[in-house]
Amino acid sequence: MTDHSPDPAMLAKAETLTEALPYLQRYAGKTFVVKYGGHAMGDPELQRDFAEDVVLLKAVGINPVVVHGGGPQIGSMLKRLGVESRFVDGLRVTDAATAEVAEMVLAGKINKEIVSWIAAAGGRAVGISGKDAGLVRAEKVQRIEPDRNSGIERHVDLGFVGEPVAVDPTLLNSLARDGFIPVVAPVALGADGHTYNVNADTMAGAIAGALGAARFFLLTDVPGVMDKQGELLTDLQPGDIAALKEDGTIKGGMIPKVETCVAAVGAGVDAAVILDGRIPHGLLLEIFTRQGAGTLVRA
Ligand SMILES: Nc1ncnc2c1ncn2[C@@H]1O[C@H](COP(=O)(O)OP(=O)(O)O)[C@@H](O)[C@H]1O
Ligand SMILES: CC(=O)N[C@@H](CCC(=O)OP(=O)(O)O)C(=O)O
């Protein structure tokens, strides 16, 4: 007699696929913006997993837009060139030489690497920066901070650090419509003709807002926003952020990340999620299974 009892391993695979069904139905035709942080780019296996996830999203009818960072990679190039670098609230102070190196590393090296990984996974990616087709217009960031000793407010000059003031998503929509996956480097032009180095989280958030993305994911090197005891904060609302910044729970690179989530949600993005880019296929698991991970920011 032949044994017709189902193989449990095969059944588990089928269950995983059927578990994905409602998400596939819900998200078909929607736009997802994925911010791929420099720290999440880890090793070649993670890079391949990430590219496969993005290609799979496209294959099931979702329009992924990748916006990448590369802070650590800019840091090592600056070090090799003997250029000092410092940060204020997670933003790299950018003089003319630093802006040049940042654009070379971001729009040259990293952007084309990601395009190659996506190509290897069978996708058709187009690498651009915020400069292309007027995608993002930036303005110089203006910072005013109280002096540590006197408390008197003073202007902090960050150099060529830009913040997005206008996004024209025409090119992204054309690329998505024609089956391409846009990969965007966080460099933009100012009205003054200067090249601005834009924090990648801020850039991604502005693009997610302009596209009215259904989801905005930020892949980084921590499980999400952690409290002072190191516990993951699974849900945050815009109103929670000021206190977390004030008491020092959120600092450094997490500041632009959380601020951009709040701005994106305010601009009409349904939900933003900060999640661990070091987990193999973390993006797929987050999107197509019930086990949500990371920190969800929702209005
Ligand atoms: N409350 C917090 N929870 C988690 N990480 C935090 C928090 N506050 C600051 N951080 C820091 O933020 C970093 C993530 O930001 P960043 O280094 O800019 O990452 P990425 O390169 O992925 O954009 C974490 O590695 C961590 O050191
Ligand atoms: C102004 C500013 O800080 N720009 C960033 C741009 C890259 C970035 O944001 O990369 P991650 O996402 O990997 O941190 C920088 O120069 O590092």
The pLDDT tens digits for 245-291 are 999 999 988 988 999 999 999 999 999 999 999 999 999 999 998 87
86 known ligand binder: no
Helix 111-120, helix 44-59: angle, nearest 10? 70
The full set of domain ranges for the chain reads 27-297
**How far is ligand 1, taken at its centre, from the CA of residue 252, in Å?**
7
Of ligand 2's listed atoms, the one at least distance from the Cα of 35 is 12
pLDDT score, position 2: 64
Ligand 2: which residue has its CA nearest to atom 2?
Answer: 199
Q: Which residue has the tokens 């089956």?
A: 179
The pLDDT tens digits for 188-240 are 999 999 999 999 999 999 999 999 999 999 999 999 999 999 999 999 998 99
Residue 296: Cβ within 10 Å count = 20
User: Does the pLDDT at position 3 exceed 80?
Assistant: no
CATH no. for 27-297:
3.40.1160.10
- Which residue, 78, 84, 131, is CA-closest to 105? 78
ipTM of the complex model: 0.95
Report d(CA 121, CA 48) in Å as an integer. 7
Q: Is the CB of 92 under 6 A from ligand 2?
A: yes
Task: Tell me if residue 258 falls in helix, strand or coil.
Answer: helix
pTM score of the predicted model: 0.94
Q: Is the CB of 67 under 6 A from ligand 1?
A: no
